């Protein structure tokens, strides 16, 4: 029941070309559902109670000790009228929206089945107390405004009743605007004014057809049943039935509304799948940039791919709901088919629409299979790019660490040299201090050194002694250094053709520490780190062998060792490789 209670709320002047009397409105939509979900909704509404006297609201009782609960005058309510376990749920809802510009009393009926079919029904009882010929008649302009208001209010109401999973599905498919989702409109009325004997006069392409298309969108067909005079206006978004025997057509109109609302849902689902393809294409473009060396977009690609994967999971579950629901709907149609009006049933081609929907649902499954492959491929590609970046970072960090170690060792050698110089200077200063304290002292050689004939001789002897001391110190330092085992990092570029199987057979006999494989379009690079031991099992070096499996190329050998003689170790490694692996230019 819907009533508009005031004349002053709508200010514009309307050209009322068509009026309907005794109007009943049916809004239909498809919300994925199953028996357990419907049972959960029924428990929320306490549908199994014998007396439905509970008051369910989201308002907080600030005075729980009081026996009175005060609520706003526009509080909505839902009352369960009938239910049958997990088969269906029938409710009556009273809605009062304080934001409505038009003052109205709005009570609608709701029917929710486990197949996912949701029906909202209302009867227009009064608009501004307009009565003509003893029967309330309403213009299509006013009816259209009521229908739009019912669409929005019913969406808000249903969103508070359905489960979080259903809400997530609707939000995903309708891209964040679930309250504005379309519903199929069914109008059943007793009277149409003006009434034409030739129903084609309504499809005039001007004022009559334009008013019709406010409610049902594009007018496709006008059908008249000559037996009882029933007139049907069929459009893309709705159907209007003018008949004196409304009970005779309610079942057919309800089922036709189910099929058309399912078409709306599948259209929205397919459009969402197309948007998902666009999102995956954007993610692929970003991942391709990473392969070109731009790693700043990896985070964006990860975010897009993560959201797309979540949406794909939701959409995939939605198709499972559709498969289940329409198997049941197909069986139900064959049970009620013979009880519907044959003339109108053939006009609106329900059998063809049902078959077409089943085929479209199967085709959506094909699209989802392609999306699944695309999502898995992009995840693998992104993981590969991230691993390659981590490997590059690791290699750069390893090289920097080794370079830092070399700098530290060079500093240590410089420090040793400075220590020697410090000892020499300390000795010189010590002699100078002694001379300053005791004064100059003379020896027989001093007198000889003062002789002008021997001054140059003693100068050369002093220089020779200084040179001998320097040589002795240098030899001593070299001997000390030779006794210390240094850390060496040697890279040897080979770049020669070889047999990868021979390399892998050689490595199978080694103490392998790690293996990195990098699969790209133009190469398959393998890096193997293994320990080298002598005959007594003593660790000699860590060897890194790099080869290209695709091009059968031995690229590089790296030797990381702490040894006195790196050259002999290098020769030993190369000899070992040449004996085990045959290489050529």
Contact 143, 23 (CB under 8 A): yes
Q: Which of 318, 295, 322, 365 is nearest to 115 (CA)?
A: 322
Q: What is the structure's pLDDT at 369?
A: 87
CA angle 175, 179, 184 (to 5 degrees): 100
Q: What is the structure's pLDDT at 435?
A: 61
Which tokens is 422 given?
């410090």
Q: What is the structure's pLDDT at 5?
A: 42
Q: What is the structure's pLDDT at 46?
A: 78
Domains and CATH numbers, the chain: 2-52+72-385 (no CATH), 402-482 (no CATH), 486-580 (3.30.160)
Burial of 277 (0-12, 13-18, 19+ CB in 10 A): middle
Q: Which of 474, 449, 477, 475 is nearest to 461 (CA)?
A: 449
What's the farthest any 2 CA atoms get from each other in the chain? 156
pTM to 2 decimal places: 0.67
| Weakly modelled stretches of the chain, pLDDT under 50 | 1-11, 53-55
Q: What is the structure's pLDDT at 4?
A: 44
User: Per residue, what are the HEC states of 28-56?
Assistant: EEECCCCHHHHHHHHHHCCCCCCCCCCCC
Q: 98: cis peptide before it, omega within 30°?
A: no
Q: What is the structure's pLDDT at 519?
A: 77
pLDDT in tens, 95-151: 766 565 556 678 888 999 988 999 999 988 877 655 555 567 888 888 888 898 888
Q: What is the structure's pLDDT at 400?
A: 76
Q: Give the C-alpha separation, 52 to 60, whole Å.
A: 21
> What is the β-pairing status of strands 238-242 and 184-189?
parallel
Q: Give the C-alpha separation, 434 to 304, whole Å.
A: 82
Q: What is the structure's pLDDT at 7?
A: 43
């Amino acid at each position: 029941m819907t009533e508009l209670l005031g004349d002053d709320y709508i200010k514009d002047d309307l050209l009322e070309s068509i009026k309907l009397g005794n109007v009943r409105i049916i809004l239909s939509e498809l919300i994925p559902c199953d028996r357990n979900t419907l049972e959960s909704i029924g428990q929320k509404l306490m549908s199994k109670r014998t007396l439905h006297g509970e008051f369910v609201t989201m308002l907080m009782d600030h005075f729980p000790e009081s026996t009175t609960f005060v609520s706003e005058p526009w509080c909505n309510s839902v009352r369960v009228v009938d239910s049958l376990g997990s088969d269906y749920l029938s409710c009556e809802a009273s809605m009062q929206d304080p934001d409505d510009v038009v003052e109205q009393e709005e009570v609608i009926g709701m029917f929710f089945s486990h197949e996912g079919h949701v029906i909202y029904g209302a009867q227009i009882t009064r608009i501004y107390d307009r009565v003509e010929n003893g029967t309330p008649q309403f213009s299509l302009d006013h009816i259209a405004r009521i229908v739009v208001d019912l669409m929005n209010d019913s969406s808000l109401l249903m969103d508070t009743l359905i489960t979080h999973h259903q809400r997530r599905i609707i939000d995903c498919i309708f891209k964040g605007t679930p309250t504005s989702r379309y519903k199929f409109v069914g109008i059943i009325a007793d009277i149409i004014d003006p009434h034409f004997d030739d129903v084609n006069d309504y499809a005039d392409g001007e004022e009559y057809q334009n008013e019709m298309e406010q409610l049902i969108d594009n007018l496709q067909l006008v059908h008249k049943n000559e037996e009882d005079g029933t007139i049907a206006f069929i459009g893309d978004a709705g159907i209007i039935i003018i008949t004196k025997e409304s009970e005779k057509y309610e079942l057919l109109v309800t089922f036709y509304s189910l099929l058309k609302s399912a078409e709306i849902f599948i259209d929205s689902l397919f459009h969402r799948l197309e948007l998902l393809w666009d999102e995956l294409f954007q993610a692929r473009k970003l991942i391709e940039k990473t392969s070109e060396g731009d790693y700043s977009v990896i985070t964006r690609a990860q975010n897009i791919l993560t959201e797309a994967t979540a949406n794909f999971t939701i959409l995939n579950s939605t198709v499972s709901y559709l498969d289940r629901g329409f198997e049941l709907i197909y069986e139900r149609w064959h049970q009620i088919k013979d009880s519907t009006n044959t003339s109108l049933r053939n006009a609106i081609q329900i059998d063809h629409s049902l078959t077409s929907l089943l085929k479209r649902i199967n085709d959506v499954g094909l699209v989802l299979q392609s999306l699944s492959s695309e999502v898995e491929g992009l995840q693998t590609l992104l993981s590969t790019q991230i691993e390659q970046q981590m490997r590059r970072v690791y290699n750069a960090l390893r090289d920097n660490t080794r370079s830092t170690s070399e700098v530290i060792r060079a500093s240590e050698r410089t420090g040793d040299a400075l220590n020697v110089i410090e000892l020499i200077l300390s000795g010189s200063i010590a002699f100078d201090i002694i001379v300053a304290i005791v004064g100059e002292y003379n020896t027989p050689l001093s007198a000889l050194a003062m002789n002008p004939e021997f001054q140059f001789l003693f100068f050369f002897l002093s220089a020779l002694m200084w040179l001998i001391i320097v040589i002795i110190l240098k030899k001593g330092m070299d001997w000390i250094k030779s006794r210390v085992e240094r850390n060496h990092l040697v890279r040897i570029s080979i770049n020669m053709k070889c047999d990868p199987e021979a390399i892998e057979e050689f490595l199978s006999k080694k103490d392998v520490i790690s293996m990195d494989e990098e699969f790209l379009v133009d190469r398959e690079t393998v890096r193997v780190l293994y320990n080298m031991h002598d005959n007594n099992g003593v660790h000699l070096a860590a060897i890194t062998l790099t080869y290209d499996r695709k091009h059968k190329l031995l690229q590089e050998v790296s030797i990381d060792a702490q040894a006195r003689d790196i050259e002999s170790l290098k020769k030993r490694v190369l000899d070992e490789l040449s004996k085990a692996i045959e290489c050529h230019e």
